[in-house]
Amino acid sequence: MKFWPRTLGVQLIVVTAAAVLLSNLAVALYFQLGNDRLNEANFVERAIDRAAATSTVLSVVPARSRDDAARSMNTVVWSFRLLRGKPAIPVMTDEEQRLATRLRNALPDEKAAQPLAVTHLYNVLQPDAGRMNPRRLPVTALRFLVPVVRGTMLEAIYYQPPAPSWPTEVMIAAIMAIIIASAAAAYIARRVARPLSALEHAAAIAARGGSPPHVPEEGPDDVRNAARAFNEMTARVTRTLESQRQLLSAVGHDLRTPLTAMRINLEFIEDKELRERLGENLNELQALTESVLSAARGAGGESKRNIDLSALVESLCADLDDLGEPVTWHAHKPAPLKCRPDEIRRAVRNLVENAVAYGRRAEVQIEETPASYEIVVEDEGPGIPEGERDHVFEPFVRLETSRNTETGGTGLGLTLVKAIAQGHGGGVTLENRTEGGLRARLTLPREEITALAAQ
């Protein structure tokens, strides 16, 4: 939804406020309908009682003062006048007949037998609305013809005051309830959202290969348990990686020592052909050892620093070009980035050397988006079948199955590229070009771009 808030705190406040508003409207509507029914009943009952009482009072007033007395009883909602002779009695509806019966029952016994009429009028405009109806809206009215004395009838008209469009008290109560509920929702949202934001920040740092900070273990039990589990997980992963680095360092030292001794002993072999063959095997073993250690270390101990990614890639391509490799670099404007430059250089070099080895030449350029830089390496080779593209990132996997290092390498180059990319919070993808060849994309996020360009 376009206008729906994205953060948990704002969503909780909006949902709570909407729920309170709807519940208040429902309750107000329920009571309003009940009040309307009650007011209607009270309206009719009061009108009948007042008309009967006024008729009774006027019957004992002297005849010469009766008209003045009737006029003196006029109010904003009542209009009284005396009719002499036999007034026209309109035909009454069933409802008006029932009201007439109720009025007759309210009169003294000596008047109850006399003819009377009740006319129920709807939507009449009160002649003198005054303050009761300043906008002069149509109102509901009841007209009674009640006997006073023989030959005199009282015409009593009661104008029901118009009901307010909406009770002000209900609106004030609804606004207060929304404010209080929203404040409570904001408090709960803060308790939930703040540790979740800290957890998200720490997870993002861990995904980029950094050392995540300790997440505060606070908030509701569910959030606190999640933070505690994350802290335990990162601590365990950190210990495992440190143990792995120490083990790899020891293994590397232990492997390099016998390899060096074997190279020394190799010089004492008199058979030249055997010496050369063993030397090639040692070189292959040495390269395999270094590749395994580099791939296992991945985002290793090198610290991050500010660099110009464009200058780094250009320098690498220039070095390979000086060695006679068919590498073409497409110039790019400065691309400031904070990263581990030796690892990035190693990853790009592996991609370029793969392109030269399997695709005859390499075209290198940098593309950028608002969120990332992409180092693109294209070749003119046969490409990689779609079903094999994810498989080639696994350790020791080579599409060339001869196991010959001259033609297939060690099978760790792309594994190392993937480990370095993920250690920087990015990734690497392979795709076949429509015009032939393979396109490799090494993506590096720009979150850690610094002000290097402005320095």
> What per-residue confidence (pLDDT) applies to 36?
55
> What per-residue confidence (pLDDT) applies to 56?
86
How much of the chain, in percent, has pLDDT values that exceed 70? 69
pLDDT exceeds 90 at position 272: no
Asked if the structure places residue 245 within a domain, the reply is no
> What is the number of other CB atoms lying within 10 angstroms of the CB of residue 53?
13
- Average pLDDT, stretch 428-442? 90
Asked if the structure places residue 259 within a domain, the reply is no
- Average pLDDT, stretch 218-223? 75
pLDDT in tens, 146-179: 888 888 888 888 877 655 555 566 677 777 777 8
Token pair of 414 as six digits? 């792309």
More confident residue, 382 or 95: 382
Q: Are 331 and 314 in contact (CB under 8 A)?
A: yes
Q: Are 228 and 218 in contact (CB under 8 A)?
A: no
Q: Are 162 and 133 in contact (CB under 8 A)?
A: yes
pLDDT exceeds 90 at position 295: no
Give the confidence band of 452 by pLDDT, cuts at 50, 70, 90.
Answer: very low
4-8, 134-138, 194-198: the lowest-pLDDT one: 134-138
- How far is CA 111 from each of CA 92, 104, 105, 292, rounded to the nearest angstrom? 20, 8, 10, 117
Q: Mind giving me the DSSP string for 120-166?
A: EEEEEPPTT-GGGSTT---EEEEEEEEEEETTEEEEEEEEPPPPPSS
- Average pLDDT, stretch 237-259? 71
79-83, 333-337, 410-414: the lowest-pLDDT one: 410-414
Q: CA 455, CA 452: separation in Å to the nearest integer?
A: 5
Contacts of 241-246 with C-beta under 8 Å, sequence gap 24+, read 244/296, 245/297, 245/300, 245/301
Q: CA 65, CA 61: separation in Å to the nearest integer?
A: 7
Asked if the structure places residue 201 within a domain, the reply is no
- Average pLDDT, stretch 5-11? 62
Structural domain containing residue 48: 8-159
Q: Are 335 and 308 in contact (CB under 8 A)?
A: yes
pLDDT in tens, 297-317: 554 556 788 999 999 999 999
Asked if the structure places residue 266 within a domain, the reply is no
Domain boundary (114, 142, 159) is at: 159
Domain boundary (139, 159, 179) is at: 159
Q: CA 157, CA 43: separation in Å to the nearest integer?
A: 12
Domain boundary (159, 194, 225) is at: 159
On whether the pTM is more than 0.85, the answer is: no
Give the confidence band of 449 by pLDDT, cuts at 50, 70, 90.
Answer: very low
Report for 55-69, 77-91, 277-291, 293-307: range of highest mean pLDDT = 55-69
Distance of CA 224 to the CA centre of its chain: 21
Asked if the structure places residue 171 within a domain, the reply is no
Domains: count for the chain: 2
Residue 269, phi then psi, degrees to nearest 5: -80, 125
pLDDT exceeds 90 at position 365: yes
Give the confidence band of 51 by pLDDT, cuts at 50, 70, 90.
Answer: confident
pLDDT exceeds 70 at position 101: yes
pLDDT in tens, 305-359: 899 999 999 999 999 988 889 999 999 999 999 888 888 988 899 899 989 988 8
pLDDT in tens, 14-27: 777 777 777 766 66
Which residue from 192, 170, 166, 199 is spatially nearest to 16, judged by alpha carbons? 192
pLDDT, mean over the chain: 75
> What per-residue confidence (pLDDT) applies to 296?
57
| Sequence letter at residue 85 | G
Which residue from 238, 258, 219, 52 is spatially nearest to 147, judged by alpha carbons? 52
- How far is CA 341 from each of CA 265, 301, 306, rounded to the nearest angstrom? 37, 12, 9
State the CATH number of the domain containing residue 362.
Answer: 3.30.565.10
More confident residue, 151 or 412: 151
Q: How many CA atoms lie within 13 A of 134 on its CB side?
A: 2
Give the confidence band of 454 by pLDDT, cuts at 50, 70, 90.
Answer: very low
**Sequence-separated (6 or more) residues with CB below 8 Å from residue 162:** 133, 137, 139
Asked if the structure places residue 307 within a domain, the reply is yes
Asked if the structure places residue 420 within a domain, the reply is yes
Asked if the structure places residue 243 within a domain, the reply is no
> What per-residue confidence (pLDDT) applies to 373?
93
Q: CA 138, CA 125: separation in Å to the nearest integer?
A: 5
> What per-residue confidence (pLDDT) applies to 396?
59
More confident residue, 39 or 50: 50
- Average pLDDT, stretch 75-101? 80
> What per-residue confidence (pLDDT) applies to 162?
59
